[in-house]
Amino acid sequence: MPSWAPSSSRGNELSRVEAPVTIRGYLLCVFAAFGGILFGYDSGYISGVLAMNFFKQEFGRKRYSANAGAVDNPDAYNGFIYDTWQKSLITSILSAGTFFGALFAGSLADWVGRRSTIISGCVVFSAGVVLQVASTTVGMLVPGRLVAGVGVGFVSAVIILYMSEIAPKAVRGAIVSGYQFCITIGLLLAAVVDQSMHKDMTSRSYRIPMAIQFLWALILGIGLFFLPESPRYYVKKDRFNDAARSLSILRGQHVDSVYVREEVDELIASHRYEMENTHPGWGNCFRGSIWDSASNLRRVLLGVALQMMQQWTGVNFIFYYGTTFFQHVGVKNAFLIAMITTAVNVLSTPISFWTIEKFGRRTLLIYGAIGMAMCEFLIAIVGAATHANSHTSTASGYVLIIFTCIYIFFFASTWGPAAWVVIGEVFPLPIRAKGVALSTASNWLWNFVIGQITPYMVDKGYADMGTNVFFVWGSTCALCIAFAYFFVPETKGLSLEQVDRMLHETTPRTSAKWVPHTTYANAVSRDDSEKTAAQAAEHQDSTV
């Protein structure tokens, strides 16, 4: 079996805790990233469907005469349009479903297992898709999106947990970044499918984009049947033989090999240590001091805030409202530009597969936020200067387009993947499923909030900020720099158990220099031998 040595492991003297990475093991772990397609496609397809003429006619009502429609409401088709509240409900109900789905999955993943939760997520999701495809009214489409959202919530929260737990430490960052890559592919596929169906004037125009969602659920659900359950879940359930069997499949080693035995020993010792300090309930996610970077409360706040800040980078302003915004500020060919930004998103993400292991999560987050903030301030300043001179210049249009693309490049190669990678790594096993679930729910909550408030920031009749909105995103990105610098620890090259120990022994700013100096299993056996020696000495004393 081909194998390649971990390149970014810290503390090589302890790298024996894990077997060398094999191509087969790598591919097994990478398959789960496919769940990202579900996430990306589902959040992406609806904006195109809402813009389809047949959809407007079928789901909307006639509010204008056919001719007046174009004048009174340029969005209406033949006078048909849905109400604004319906549009907002159809779009945002998915985030509501995912928010609750993610939270519920946090309990389910500890109860029935990570793999089974993702598979049930695919089943729930498919039920939602049936409702969507069958719908001809908003009243039926909304419950369909809600149910599908719950399924996406299961999948999006637990995939990160599952991937982080099964991946070898040297490539864990790259493997979890693969999930972000799939999100970007999902977004692109949605744009392409919408684009190719939007002229069709039958129900196929919206039913095909909706029905395609089945395919993603089917591939993910069936594929996962062939993957093993997370060994860390088995350890949590005291099923050590199952944990060893699962690890032997994932690492491509015999179940009795020294690698498998040592890794299982380490998982068990670390879990026992953590269980002495933490219990698995939801309440324990909020225990401990906010000043202690290893406390559960601090780790949960880190995960929740990291996902919140990822949304505050402003990325979805481009993906959700990019087309209308570009049109609004006078850029010609806004649809084309939107396709270009989506393509830049896909093409830039793979860079992180290498950089996340080479430079680390923390470095990527700090420099990525600096890059994004610079682009956003530049767009805002050039926009404001052009506006002050009261002429629309082609130059400012180019600045907007070019720096939006560079901004997306920075997001896709840094905050996009790294925010997901870090939340999979910072929680101790007893609360890991719940911590990842809370962080994912935060992503969806802020996704929803920002999606709701953004139109009021840019629309005519409201704040109508134009390119000045980039002053807001530039400032929030500046906060992201400070957040990453002060609060995000460096986790690259460490096993999840070593991350746990590192958090106990360092602060975020000193974390990158930390190297593992002992394993939990060694510490336990040292404790045991110290205890035995003390008991022997006591025994000797009492017999003297």
Q: Which one, 144 or 416, has the nearer CB to ligand BGC?
A: 416
Out of 99, 273, 319, 407, which residue is the one contacting ligand BGC (CB under 6 A)? 319
Out of 213, 248, 284, 345, which residue is the one contacting ligand BGC (CB under 6 A)? 345
21: part of which helix (H) or strand (E)? strand 21-22
β-bridge pairing 21-22 and 3-4 = antiparallel
- CA distances 221 to 35, 155, 214, 227, Å, are 9, 10, 10, 10
CB of 346 to ligand BGC, least distance (A): 9
Out of 171, 183, 300, 423, which residue is the one contacting ligand BGC (CB under 6 A)? 183
443 binds ligand BGC (CB under 6 A): yes
Between residue 475 and residue 534, which ones bind ligand BGC under the rule CB under 6 A? none
Residues 6+ apart with CB under 8 A from 309: 415, 419, 476, 479, 480, 483
Out of 95, 117, 164, 180, which residue is the one contacting ligand BGC (CB under 6 A)? 180
Out of 92, 98, 177, 184, which residue is the one contacting ligand BGC (CB under 6 A)? 184
CB of 352 to ligand BGC, least distance (A): 11
Q: Which one, 22 or 342, has the nearer CB to ligand BGC?
A: 342
- Residues 236/430, Cβ–Cβ less than 8 Å: yes
Q: Which one, 17 or 338, has the nearer CB to ligand BGC?
A: 338
- CA distances 23 to 35, 190, 539, Å, are 20, 31, 53
CB of 411 to ligand BGC, least distance (A): 7
CB of 175 to ligand BGC, least distance (A): 15
Q: Which one, 184 or 396, has the nearer CB to ligand BGC?
A: 184
CB of 130 to ligand BGC, least distance (A): 25
Report residue 455 CA to chain centroid gap: 24
91 binds ligand BGC (CB under 6 A): no
Out of 246, 404, 440, 447, which residue is the one contacting ligand BGC (CB under 6 A)? 447
Cα(114)–Cα(92) distance, integer angstroms: 27
- Is 237 strand, coil or helix? coil
> In this chain, which stretch among 295-303, 309-317, 363-371, 482-490 interacts with ligand BGC, using CB under 6 A?
309-317
- Residue 490 has what DSSP assignment? P
Cα(297)–Cα(300) distance, integer angstroms: 5
416 binds ligand BGC (CB under 6 A): yes
> In this chain, which stretch among 167-175, 308-316, 477-485, 525-533 interacts with ligand BGC, using CB under 6 A?
308-316
Q: What is the 3-state secondary structure (H, E, C) of 318-383?
A: HHHHHHHHHHHCCCCCHHHHHHHHHHHHHHHCCHHHHHHHHCCHHHHHHHHHHHHHHHHHHHHHHH
Cα(311)–Cα(52) distance, integer angstroms: 27
> In this chain, which stretch among 178-186, 262-270, 375-383, 426-434 interacts with ligand BGC, using CB under 6 A?
178-186
Out of 3, 116, 316, 475, which residue is the one contacting ligand BGC (CB under 6 A)? 316
418 binds ligand BGC (CB under 6 A): no
Structure token pair of residue 432:
């890991």
CA atoms within 13 A on the CB side of 266: 23
CB of 254 to ligand BGC, least distance (A): 38
CB of 12 to ligand BGC, least distance (A): 32
Place of tokens 């989506």: 342
Residues 6+ apart with CB under 8 A from 313: 369, 372, 411, 415, 473, 476, 477, 480
CB of 36 to ligand BGC, least distance (A): 9
- Residues 64/72, Cβ–Cβ less than 8 Å: yes
Place of tokens 């400070």: 482
Q: Which one, 35 or 416, has the nearer CB to ligand BGC?
A: 416
Between residue 190 and residue 249, which ones bind ligand BGC under the rule CB under 6 A? none
Q: Which positions touch ligand BGC (CB under 6 A)?
A: 180, 183-184, 187, 310, 315-316, 319, 345, 416, 443, 447
